[in-house]
Structure 1
Amino acid sequence: MLAFRSVMAERVSETQPRCPAALITTRSHSNNSSLHTSKTAYYDILRVSPNATQAQIKTAYYRQSFRYHPDRNAGSDEAVHRFSLISEAYMVLGSVSLRRKYDLGVLSLADVQNAGKPSRKDTAHPPSLKEQPQQRYSRTVRGAGGKPMFDFDTFYRAHYGEQLEREQSLRRWRERRKRAQQESLLKWKKEKGTEMAVGTLLVLGVVLLFSLKS
């Protein structure tokens, strides 16, 4: 429910036309999701109207998946979860046949699970352990029967690769600058402490000298 509330809160804040909100449980389909039983859950996730065209749905998917892609939100479990929901929503709404079933209220959990399964061709040559880390966030959205419908990662790299690289470079630069500032502050405090210690010793020396003379 926390993830759903986050979805709805952002929709209100962005002053976009809103679809009727559905009371849904935002879990991924691998965890017995009930999203497929709601009339508007998938539309709400992509922030489109139930009357949206397939082109509008695809555009919404591009926008949402880019925003919450794990590569742009390193270390954010919420982003990973949202990205999973967005992928599931497009997997259903991006398929004309699955969308029709969903709109009619006859879409089953098996339909969703089967749509997300890779084809036999994909499973015939599973990735090696060395290849798996690089494919951690591979998002090939599949239609009915496991047929690849849209490979988001290919689109993502082609259209946003340079932007992502710039963002990562900027993030690394900010981290280096922050560390440099912290190191400078520590150095300044250390030097200041040394100066104060020397000054204190000088004052004590003068006081002691006058005491001896008197």
Structure 2
Amino acid sequence: MDLLKHVRTQILVFGIAVILSVYAGYKLGSFLVNRYEVYPTFTLIGIILGIGSGVLTVYSILQKYFKNPGKQRAEENKSGNEIGSKITDPTIDVTLEQVRKAVREFSDTLPKGVFRTILVQDDNSIDFKQLVPHLGGIPTKNYYMSKETYDLFEESEKHIPSEMDIVQKAVDQYVKDHKEYPMLQFDPQHRVNYYLLLQEHYLKKVPLTQFYITNLDGLITHIKPQNKNSSQL
């Protein structure tokens, strides 16, 4: 009933708008005819202008009441986003282990072919907005992640992940080309041999951090490994 009533109201409004516009045009034409005694030119012009004015009036009303659905949805979404942006997540204190657990949980929810590196921003800091469902808020301090090894670091070690990514890529390429790790064969600490990587242009400069090759498929670490590896693959 409400819809039918609304439609009837709109039809009535349209009709009145057209009638008034045509009538106003007719009266204007009649006035000009009486003044300049040119019949029926001004009367016809007035009626045509009245019809045109009525059509424009109806069109403007239609635009108001039957707005483009796509545009309307876009405006609604924009309004919703503006409201949502005003809602801030709580800040919380978390430990490195809690962050590590949240990252693992987040990784488990990702579809096949999507990796946890989507959490890592350009400066290797973690985008905690994506981890809010797992942490319950935004940490009060930044944590950082290597895109190559997924190792996590606190603020005091934020320089390490970017270097780690560079060195890991260099090590991987060296292994691919030479079928052995870039380290001295009898080095008990299995340090990455920066001289080899620099000499063959896998690295452009010596990193500030010393990295070591681990047992985990040639992944590097900034912590000295406990077990001895062979340099041969």
Relative to the length of structure 1, the TM-score reads: 0.21
In our comparison, the structure showing a higher alpha carbon Rg is 2
Which structure has more relative contact order (CA 8 Å, sep 6+)? It is 1
User: More helix per residue: 1 or 2?
Assistant: 1
